[in-house]
Amino acid sequence: MLILGIESSCDETAAAVVRDGQELLSNVVSSQIATHLPYGGVVPELASREHLRAIVPVVREAASRAGVCLEQVDAFAVTQGPGLAGSLLVGITYAKALSFALSKPLIAVNHLEGHIHAVLLEHQESRNTDIPLPALALVVSGGHTHLYIVSGSKATQWNYQNVGHTLDDAAGEAFDKVAKLLALSYPGGPIIEALAKHGNPHAIAMPRSQIKVHEKKKAQRVDPQPRRYDFSFSGIKTAVLRFVETHAMQDSIEKRRRELARVPNPKPEDFVPHLDQLALDLIASFQEAVVTDVVSKTLRAAGDFEVESLIISGGVASNERLRSEFVKQAEREGIKTFFPSRGLSTDNAAMIAAAAYPKLLAHDFATEHFSAEASLALG
Ligand code: KG4
Ligand code: ZN
């Protein structure tokens, strides 16, 4: 069974062809990083326009690289949400048109379920076994820091229960905002990871992330269950800002912003000569604080829920420091850890096609009236 997946929820236009939910035939991702770089974050109007430009060539390229024509595809799958409404609509409208024109079923996929399935796709492709359940899945990206208990008897029937999420910024968003504050490039995660290697992660004390009383109350109004596994990154981000102010770093930041603006497509090594040791230590200490917080809360939940395995996915899951800390600590607890490859950690359509496969088997198809859901929840 061939599924062509389409993903356009944020700043990546992507299409992929996956056979039987586990064999990746093609995976095309057209990134909009260059468009959003000058703004240090995604500009929704520009994102929709770029998706409109890219969607047709990206889908054609995915079919061509897979060596199939669109008529041979058994179903189309598309991200319904969560994400930017205007961006989601571009993918959905095109997927609907393809499904209608070629009389093929259309499957709506939750982007978060897609991230989780990226791990299963590669795991099955390489080992052809199931991931031991119950599992705890962490989706850690620019839009989410969410924990789910994954249960079910087989990979084709997974259920999700949300047990924790961020009450303010997502972890990736904190990377992006700190990178913008320090005049580094966008997205913030990869540049901070590269520069952190030059700094001392223990040089600057960062606050342990604390959830403020009013945030706890707000969360409990929505969900009266006490949530021990919620995240908060705004305190760490504010600590970086305070450090910059109290150590009079603004002038050197503005100087760096001006100098790097002249370098086309600056690489991490281009930044190093423009950063003093204090700035590099700040970058390393920030990354360490986020990693420590994410790993400790996730492992606390994993222990309390007595899961067999951990599934870590989303853009921030490509961070090597995060990966090594997870592997080290989970191993100590006897919990197996599964990550997608770096390429499938960030947004892609292979994960959408993979997550659609159980729905294809169950004939769980979208109607022609379904639309984008910017705040679509999972579990
Ligand atoms: O999953 P993704 O591509 O898109 C969303 O669904 O948000 O994740 C993008 C996020 C960005 O915030 C980016 O800064 C972060 O993932 N990211 C990283 C790394 N690579 C990407 N964060 C930390 N370390 C990285 N190596
Ligand atoms: Zn994502």
**240, 174 contact by CB (below 8 A):** no
* Ligand 1 close to Cβ of residue 83 (< 6 A): no
For 138, 147, 163, 166, the CA distances from 141, given in Å and listed in that order, are: 10, 12, 17, 11
* Ligand 1 close to Cβ of residue 340 (< 6 A): no
As a whole number of angstroms, the distance between CA 207 and CA 209 comes to 6
The per-residue DSSP string of 252-314 comes to: HHHHHHHHHHTSSS--HHHHGGG--HHHHHHHHHHHHHHHHHHHHHHHHHHHHTT-SEEEEES
User: What is the Cα 355 distance to its own chain's centre?
Assistant: 15
pLDDT confidence tier of residue 307, bands split at 50, 70 and 90: very high
**Pocket test residue of 165, 175, 192, 347 for ligand 1, highest count of atoms within 8 A of CB:** 175
Ligand 2 midpoint to CA 139 (Å): 8
**114, 83 contact by CB (below 8 A):** no
Mean pLDDT of the chain: 93
Ligand 2 midpoint to CA 315 (Å): 7
User: How many Cβ atoms are within 10 Å of 250's Cβ, its own excluded?
Assistant: 11
For 123, 133, 135, 190, 375, the CA distances from 130, given in Å and listed in that order, are: 8, 8, 11, 31, 30
Cα maximum dimension of the chain: 63
Ligand 2 midpoint to CA 130 (Å): 23
Ligand 1 atom 19 nearest Cα: 189
* Ligand 1 close to Cβ of residue 10 (< 6 A): yes
Contacts of 192 (CB under 8 A, 6+ apart): 175, 178, 179, 184, 283, 286, 287
Ligand 1 atom 8 nearest Cα: 315
* Ligand 1 close to Cβ of residue 87 (< 6 A): no
Q: 38 pLDDT exceeds 70?
A: yes
Determine how β-strand 135-140 pairs with β-strand 12-19: unpaired
Ligand at shortest distance from the CA of 318: 1
Q: 217 pLDDT exceeds 70?
A: no
pLDDT of 264 reads 86
pLDDT confidence tier of residue 226, bands split at 50, 70 and 90: very low
CA angle 151, 84, 319 (to 5 degrees): 60
How many percent of the chain have pLDDT more than 90? 86
* Ligand 1 close to Cβ of residue 82 (< 6 A): no
- The residue among 313, 300, 317 whose CA lies nearest residue 231 is 300
* Ligand 1 close to Cβ of residue 337 (< 6 A): no
* Ligand 1 close to Cβ of residue 143 (< 6 A): yes
* Ligand 1 close to Cβ of residue 346 (< 6 A): yes
Mean pLDDT of 219-246: 82
Ligand 2 midpoint to CA 219 (Å): 23
* Ligand 1 close to Cβ of residue 190 (< 6 A): yes
Ligand 1 atom 23 nearest Cα: 189
pLDDT of 130 reads 79
As a whole number of angstroms, the distance between CA 333 and CA 12 comes to 36
Asked if residue 44 has a cis previous peptide bond (ω within 30° of 0), the answer is: no
Mean pLDDT of 31-41: 89
* Ligand 1 close to Cβ of residue 175 (< 6 A): yes
The enclosing H or E element of 237 equals helix 234-246
As a whole number of angstroms, the distance between CA 29 and CA 267 comes to 20
- The residue among 47, 43, 41 whose CA lies nearest residue 11 is 47
pLDDT confidence tier of residue 273, bands split at 50, 70 and 90: very high
Index of the ligand 1 atom closest to the CA of residue 12: 3
As a whole number of angstroms, the distance between CA 154 and CA 324 comes to 28
As a whole number of angstroms, the distance between CA 342 and CA 135 comes to 21
Is the pTM higher than 0.85?
Answer: yes
Paired tokens of 233: 């990154």
* Ligand 1 close to Cβ of residue 286 (< 6 A): no
Determine how β-strand 159-165 pairs with β-strand 145-151: antiparallel
pLDDT confidence tier of residue 5, bands split at 50, 70 and 90: very high
End-to-end Cα spacing for the chain: 27
Q: What is the pLDDT of residues 60-117, one digit of tens each?
A: 999 999 999 999 999 999 999 999 999 999 999 999 999 999 999 999 999 999 999 9
Contacts of 127 (CB under 8 A, 6+ apart): none
Compare 227 and 57 and report the one with higher pLDDT.
57
Determine how β-strand 145-151 pairs with β-strand 135-140: antiparallel
pLDDT of 211 reads 59
Q: What is the pLDDT of residues 318-329, one digit of tens each?
A: 999 999 999 999
Mean pLDDT of 238-248: 97
pLDDT confidence tier of residue 215, bands split at 50, 70 and 90: low
Ligand 2 midpoint to CA 27 (Å): 15
Ligand 1 midpoint to CA 316 (Å): 4
Ligand 1 midpoint to CA 27 (Å): 18
How many percent of the chain have pLDDT more than 70? 94
**105, 359 contact by CB (below 8 A):** no
* Ligand 1 close to Cβ of residue 319 (< 6 A): yes
**373, 80 contact by CB (below 8 A):** yes
pLDDT of 208 reads 74
